[in-house]
Chain A
Amino acid sequence: MIEHAPLRREQRIISTFVELANNIVDDFDVIEFLHRVAERSVELLDCSEAGLLLVDAAGVLRVMASSSERADALELLQCQNDEGPCFECYHRGAVVMSAELSAELERWPTFVPSAVSKGFRSVHAMPMRVGGQTIGALNLFRSHTGELAEQDVLLGQGMADIAAIAVLQERVLRESRGVVAQLQGALTSRVLIEQAKGILAEQAHTTVDVAFTRLREYSRVHNCRLVDVARDLIEGRLNAATIATPVVPPDSLPVS
């Protein structure tokens, strides 16, 4: 059995970023992607747990992914809506760190006792920024004291940046998918309406123009969309007889 030599650190960093970049494709799952960022952060950086929080529409930071499902780590991430390194990082849009958590009791009176009781001694938070906008933060927890090496801070920021790009890309894709669905709907609607004209023309022994006038009239009087009338006709819920039946136009009804 061949023992693979451990990849050199630079190679691991490069392959991690290539892996992450290759995953930002058309149908990618953003939550799975953020979990990957958290896992790779722990592999590449000198930390024991990593978590990503995103701000929701109401401005509340939500835990999106973490390197493990350790309940105490999740709890630590979740408890940061009023204070804590992630909260501060998000609101300042800048890296927030503490090399010695036990000395920060005044700064984060709730977060620090909780973190220390779970065995964490230092913490770093990197903002997830795109185009000057901060949308969340990457939190790194360590079981020992001290600052991250400068190159690890830069690398951590790089992980936070690619996570931010992925989140925005997913939002753009989601909007695009909505437009594409609407485009397909509009294309299909036109076909249904033309087919319905032909069906009605044949059933009523008239021209397609007259058939169209009747379809539109029916849709107006019954206050329903033309495409729905067309679909009902195609699927046999309406026919020439029901569509031709005169109805009382709504504007001649007595006002109640």
Chain B
Amino acid sequence: MSVDRLTTVLRALVEVDGRSGSVVDRACAATVGLLAVDGAGLSLMVDGDLRGAVGSSDPWVDAVQELQSTLGEGPCVDAWSSGRPALAADLADPRDVRWSAFGLAGAELGVGAVFAFPLGLGAIRIGVLVAYRGAPGRLTDEHVAMGLVLADVATQAIIGLQAGASDDALHDLLAGEPPHWAEVHQATGMLSVQLGVALDEAFVRMRSHAFAVDVPLRVIAAEVVARRLRLPALLA
């Protein structure tokens, strides 16, 4: 890791507007400044699924993260599974066939470019740092190098926070989640009983349904939990 870049990142973390709160939010704000992007977010992930944002620079970022969570695809998922940055300079580019659903839906939300950097230690991955631009445009090599340093620093910040938490629990700053998050998993449990399938299959069914009817996953989940929606059993 370049000492110069590390110094730049640490200085940016300190100099970010002091009112912006926690170290994770500061890391997002520093990312916006250092990578010349319009929004940035930090999300924890387990098994390739986004588990709620722990920090973001903008509510708009949360909406795009939720979209990736609904679709189960996108740069965050790829960065997590490959352990390498996933960079999309032009989300609407039809030649970029990596994320057919997220590419279209993300562009509709006004996302021009997405850059996701994995968080983790060696083979263990804990989430992503993601940066968004409203307009298409590549990151320079220097920006990519800076993004990797930002991801390392964010990882250390998250580990530092969690080191102060009690066993079995998440640190308060990491436990923050949108209210719909719990409902997605509750609905998964309910659907698995209703459909007589395993949890992962129940989740995939719910996600496919959300995609098919073009409704966010959290809305579908809330309907299931309130027992206003039942998914049809698959025909044998």
* A-B residue pairs in contact (CB < 8 Å), sample of 15: A27-B122, A27-B123, A180-B126, A180-B162, A183-B126, A183-B174, A184-B124, A191-B51, A195-B186, A195-B188, A197-B186, A201-B186, A208-B186, A234-B189, A234-B199
A187 interface residue, CB < 8 Å from B?
yes
Chain A residues near B186: list those with CB within 8 A: 194-195, 197-198, 201, 208
Q: Of the 9-residue stretches A2-10, A53-61, A85-93, A171-179, which lies at the interface with chain B?
A: A171-179
- B185's contact among A25, A27, A184, A194, by CB below 8 Å, is which? A194
Partner pick for A179 among B163, B182, B190, CB 8 A cutoff: B163
Q: Is the CB of A190 within 8 A of B170?
A: yes
A186 within 8 A of B: yes
Tell which of A197, A203, A225 touches B168, judged by Cβ atoms closer than 8 Å. Answer: A225
Interface residues of A in 198-213 (CB under 8 A from B): 198-203, 208
A188 CA / B124 CA spacing, docked (Å):
14
Cβ of A154 within 8 Å of any chain B Cβ, yes or no, is no
What residue of chain A has the Cβ atom nearest to residue B162's Cβ?
A: A183
The reply on B121 being an interface residue by CB < 8 A is: yes
Residues of chain B within 8 A of A185, CB atoms compared: 168
> Which chain A residues (202-256) contact chain B, with CB distance < 8 Å?
202-203, 208, 225, 227, 234
By secondary structure, the B interface counts as helix
Which residues of B are interface residues toward A (Cβ below 8 A)?
44, 46, 51, 120-124, 126, 156, 158-159, 162-163, 165, 167-170, 174, 182, 184-194, 199, 225
- Which residue from chain B places its CB closest to the CB of A186 in the assembled complex? B170
| Contact for B189 among A173, A182, A184, A195, CB less than 8 A | A195
Q: Which residues from chain A contact B189 at a C-beta distance below 8 Å? A: 194-202, 234
Number of cross-chain contacts by CB at 8 Å: 97
Dominant secondary structure at the A interface:
helix
Q: Determine if B124 and A181 form an interchain contact, defined as CB atoms under 8 angstroms apart.
A: yes
Known: A179-B162, A188-B46. A199 touches B193 (CB 8 A): yes
B217 → chain A closest CB, angstroms: 14
- With a cutoff of 8 Å between Cβ atoms, the chain A residues found around residue B168 in the complex are 185-186, 189, 225, 227
Using Cβ atoms and an 8 Å threshold, which residues of chain A touch B165? 182, 186
Tally of contact residues, A, Cβ under 8 A: 34
Q: Would B170 and A183 count as touching, CB distance under 8 A? A: yes
A69 CB-CB contact with B under 8 Å: no
Q: Which residues of A have CB within 8 Å of B199?
A: 195, 234
- Which residues of A are found within 8 Å of B121, using beta-carbon distances? 26, 173, 176-177, 180
Name A230's closest neighbour in chain B (CB-CB). B189
Q: How far is the CA of A156 from the CA of B118 in the complex (A)?
A: 38
User: Which of chain B's residues have a CB closer than 8 A to the CB of A27?
Assistant: 122-123
A185 to B162, CA, bound (A): 12
Q: How far is the CA of A131 from the CA of B158 in the complex (A)?
A: 25
**What is the minimal beta-carbon distance from B174 to any residue of chain A, in angstroms?**
7
Contacts A179-B162, A208-B225, A225-B168 hold; do A198 and B124 have CB atoms under 8 A apart? no
Residues on A with C-beta less than 8 A from B51 are 187, 191
- Chain B residues, CB < 8 A from A182: 162, 165, 167
Task: Specify which chain B residues have a CB less than 8 angstroms from the CB of A25 in the assembled complex.
Answer: 122
Contact B190 A187 (CB under 8 A): no
Shortest C-beta distance, B162 to chain A (Å), equals 5
Measured between alpha carbons, how far is A173 from B121 in the docked complex, in Å?
A: 8
Q: Which residue of A lies closest to B152 (CB)?
A: A26
Q: How far is the CB of A173 from chain B (nearest CB, A)?
A: 7
Contacting residues, chain A, for B185 (C-beta < 8 A): 191, 194-195, 198
Residues of B within 8 A of A179 (CB): 159, 162-163
